[in-house]
Structure formats: C-alpha cells, structure tokens
Amino acid sequence: MPRYALKIEYDGAPFVGWQRQANGLAVQQVLEEAIEKLTGQRDVRVQGAGRTDTGVHARGQVAHVTLEKDWPAHRLQAGLNFHLRPHPVVVLAAARVEEEFHARFSAMRRHYLYRILNRPAPPALDRGRVWHVPVALNAGIMHEAAQALVGRHDFTTFRASQCQAESPVKTLDAIAVERVGEEIHITCSARSFLHNQVRSMVGSLKLVGEGKWTAGDLRAALEACNRAACGPVAPPEGLYLMRVDYHPDPFAAAKTENGIAGGDARTPRT
C-alpha cells in the first residue's frame, strides 16, 4: 500500500500534544480524523517524527501514513487541509515515499527553536507563542555557556522524571543563542532529544543570562547528572519543532508539485 510523508505546521496551544491521549485533543488525532474523512479509510494511524508536549508548536513536524489507494500528493495535501479546519493544523507538503520510510526512525536530525520575548512589556500578538522574560538577558554569555552542552553527555539533569528513553546519554550536535530584536532565540539540533530536554536546558540558560548562574554553574549542573540540579523548566509555549532532516529529503520532489519549498523550514528572523 502507498505510504506518504506529510510536513505539518501547528499551533500547539489547543492540544494536549502530538500523541493521542485520553485526556484531551491531540494533533495526531485531528490528522487521523481528517484522513478518514478524506479517504474513507478506517483505523488510520499517523506516525510522527517527534512527540511534542502540550502547548509546543511545530513549523516542520513530519509524519507518515499508509493509505489503501494512491493519491496525487497535491490532492492529498489540499484535501487534508480542507478537513483539518478549523483546527490550527496545516499540511505544508505531502510526498509519496518508500515503504521503508518511517517519520521517527528514519530521521537523521531534529531542529528546535525556543523563543524568549525579552522586554518589559508582555506580548499581545505573540501571546502563547513566546516565553515572556521581562528581566534583561545577555545572549552572548548564554551562548558561550551553552557550548558546554554540545557533544555526547549524560543529560539526566535535563531529563523529565517521566522520560521513557532507555538511556539519558544523547549527543547534542549544536546549540546557539542569539538576540533577534526583542527576542532571544535558542536553537538546538540533535538526532534525538530526551523528554523536556530542550525546555530544561533553556530554563537553566535563562539563569545564566540574568546573571544568577555562571557558565561554570551550568557545566556543574550537567556533570551532576541529577534532575535536582536543573534550573526551572521553561514553559512549552516558546518551543517549536522547526525541521526534521532525512536522507534523501522526502519532500525534494514535492517542492514544485506543491508550489512551496517543501524541504525548507528555516529558523525565522522576525
């Protein structure tokens, strides 16, 4: 049966997260319901690249679904977007892929962005989409301190107590902190992350930025391998799953067909 990859954008505020749960509406659920309405296929299962938490957003989530019949990719995309309304979920691109493709296990790298609005006034237009920190933060010092997190480490300190990963050891490929106007952007890239790892690292870096922690304190927290050594966890509303990398890019051939740059969800500069 034909398999399709979907690139998805969503506002995480109304959802309990990506994964279906008994306690509320999930992004996975509304996608599966839209596919059933469009295709008539029952018991559809959509597999995502990342299980984003309650309130976390995505600009480049990737999922795959196996259907009973062939669909032109552009028709599948348009039909799903019609049936997804009024939920704040949009399919940015759709592409036919090999049966071996798996949105989660075939992923080479995941890229996250965390947005901190760093000004005295709270957000109006971006309420629920940024973490408002009114105290001035030093992005340069945060960036320098964050480099201690790069590489292969035991990230127990920055791991949620309910994390189900078999091992706390992960390799963080890159982390960068920069000021973009009134915002602080923290970008992280790795093949995979622990539950709450990015938000935990951001919360500790915020302490560095406001002068409550030094770079040495951050390194000591990492080396402690103890959840109690972590700073306060940053709230979910500032976190975005920006892009998931695959080789080959499943959306490369869909760029022209779908009329968009299907493989290019880059960090915003606004």
Active-site residues: which are they?
A: 53
With beta carbons less than 8 A apart as the criterion, state whether 182 and 166 touch.
no
Which whole-number Å values give the CA distances from 250 to 63, 76, 94, in the listed order? 11, 15, 9
Which whole-number Å values give the CA distances from 212 to 65, 147, 209, 218, 226, in the listed order? 47, 18, 8, 11, 19
Sequence-distant (6+) residues with CB within 8 A of 135 are 210
Strand partners for 186: 114, 177
Interatomic CA distance for residues 168 and 208, integer angstroms: 23
Beta strands, E only, 67-132: 89-97, 109-117, 131-132
